[in-house]
Amino acid sequence: MSDSRPWHAGARVLAVSLGKAIPLVVAGAGTEAVVLSGIRKHPVSTLLHPICVQVLALGMAGDEQADLTVHGGLDKAVYAYPAEHYPWWNARRRACSQPESGQPLPYGAVGENLTLEGLVEADLWVGDLLRVGTALLRVESPRQPCYKFNAALGYRHAVRDMVLSGYSGVYLSVVRPGSVRAGDAVIVQAGPRELSIDSVNQWRRDGRRQLF
């Protein structure tokens, strides 16, 4: 039976980010190609300027995804990512000697709509509910990165690093549309607690480790 009592009330939104589907240069096997992608998000609501952004059934108002077969839709309407992982990504990029790696990644750079503080993958299970602002969101799955993530982070092993680290963030569906803004508290209500985000990440890691 689900526990409807809030069990994690210490998290908050640091930024709300949106992006348009724009050309992205991706590399592979000595070649380059240009594809459309909405992975490049930019903060529109920050702690300094906490404007409200509408959350609709299919995602954030003003946000776009290019390939709806793997991004977006009801079960991937909103993507949330822990701010706690950003220092790790900055260190990985520096280790790979990226020319721009001296500058820390801005929130939204991982492709997330909601940058959260105080809530990581280990805290969440499929079916948990997140009350953010006036919206109600449901945890659906961890992100499974595609080749575009390498281009967005600027180095060739970013996909591998996300899979092996488990720093995936989570996709959310919209149970009740509303509005969110930076600074909003995130209240988590436990769902069935039958499948943890960490366990899904572990299965993916075990299944793909041989590919790396």
Q: What is the 3-state secondary structure (H, E, C) of the chain?
A: CCCCCEEEEEEEEEEEEECCCEEEEEEECCEEEEEEECCCCEEEEECCCCCCEEEECCEECCCCCCCCCCCCCHHHCEEEEEHHHHHHHHHHHHHCCCCCCCCCCCCCCCCCCEEEECCCHHHCECCCEEEECCEEEEEEEECCCCCHHHHHHCCCCHHHHHHHHCCCCEEEEEEECEEECCCCEEEEECCCCCCEHHHHHHHHHHHHHHHC
Domain 6-211 -> CATH class: mainly beta
Instruction: Report CA 105 to chain centroid distance, whole Å.
Output: 14
Domain boundaries of the chain, sorted by first residue = 6-211
The mean per-residue pLDDT over the stretch 103-109 comes to 95
Give the tokens for residue 166.
Answer: 């488990």
Give the tokens for residue 141.
Answer: 């799955």
The radius of gyration of the chain's CA atoms, rounded to the nearest angstrom, is 17
More confident residue, 196 or 102: 196
- Model pLDDT, residue 27: 81
pTM of the model: 0.93
Convert the pLDDT of each residue in 190-212 to its tens digit.
999 999 999 999 999 987 655 54
Percent of the chain whose predicted confidence (pLDDT) is above 90: 76
The mean per-residue pLDDT over the stretch 107-118 comes to 98
Residue 34 pairs in a beta bridge with: 25
Convert the pLDDT of each residue in 3-38 to its tens digit.
555 566 689 999 999 999 999 998 865 678 898 999
- Model pLDDT, residue 29: 58
The mean per-residue pLDDT over the stretch 156-160 comes to 93
Residue 93 CA neighbour count, 13 Å, CB half: 23
